Amino acid sequence: MIMFVIFGATGKVGKATITRLRGEGAPVRAVLRDPAKAAPLAALGCEIAMAEVGDADAMALAMRDAAAVQLICPIDPRAADASHQMMQSIERMAEAIDAARPPRVLAISDYGAHLTIDTGITSLFRAMEERFRQCRARMVFLRSAEHMENCARYLKIANETGVMPSMHQPLARPFPTVSAADIGDMAADLLLADEGHGSSPRIVHGEGPREYTALDIAAALGRLLTRSVVARELPRADWPVTLMRAGLSESYADLIVRLGDAHNKGLIEAEANVGEIHRGRTELSAALETFRPDIRQAVS
């Protein structure tokens, strides 16, 4: 039996992968940290396994008999040392891979993971790829562009003030984005494909049907909120404190600030002449529509 083992099963990407795989009739073992979230996945017909990312033995046990494993490395935005925490998680994942020896591993990575300069959080995905290359499994790195769903973080302030403060600067510069659900679908396609040939690692870049600007995002938020929303550049000096007021730790905020600097230099793109680009079909407005029930609840 070809068993697909999906870590991060309750996240947006993991749920989309599982839904697609189960729709194809493929056996899935969904790996969770919180047993209270198991019921919807069990209802889809998934086998359930429990494992913390920091527990290499539990992760290896969850990978048993897998034909392919999908991994996504979580990072706690409130961690006192977010970089150290993610590096520890990467090491535990690599140990689990080498202990369980699954034939194939698909790891969700990040646009810009090929860059050798400091790119903040994206540099950690470069470290993940480098560590996983040492593992005894065929690797697929699915590098994801920035998730469209991240734009929902602006909904509250945009609804209250009509302003969307943007770290993407200049406002008219387009950049790649993608729906998390589309990344999950791409991952399912890759898992279902015959990977018995070709080089390892396979590099796949995932982005949406087109690039967007901060101006486009403000317009999409305005349509969703049915009010006028304008984008304004958030001064660079205000980035750290704004991120920390939103609940991020100082450590995590620093990673995002450094990534923002790289974005605004136009560096966070698909690696040129390497791998392949897969494009999702979800437009930005459609991705944001999933947040409409939250808006209705907030104003009721």
For residues 58 and 136, what is the distance between their CA atoms, to the nearest angstrom? 19
Q: Which residue has the tokens 């984008």?
A: 231
* pLDDT for the residue numbered 196: 59
Q: Which residue has the tokens 């099963």?
A: 9
* Backbone phi and psi for residue 78, each to the nearest 5 degrees, phi listed first: -105, 5
* pLDDT for the residue numbered 200: 84
Rounded alpha-carbon distances, angstroms, from residue 210 to 106, 179, 275, 281: 25, 11, 19, 9
* pLDDT for the residue numbered 123: 98
* pLDDT for the residue numbered 300: 45
User: Which residue positions in the chain have pLDDT lower than 50?
Assistant: 299-300
Find the DSSP H helices in the chain. 12-23, 39-43, 56-62, 82-100, 121-132, 155-161, 180-192, 214-225, 239-245, 250-264, 284-289, 292-299
pLDDT per residue as tens digits for the range 1-48 = 679 999 999 999 999 999 999 999 999 999 999 999 999 999 999 999
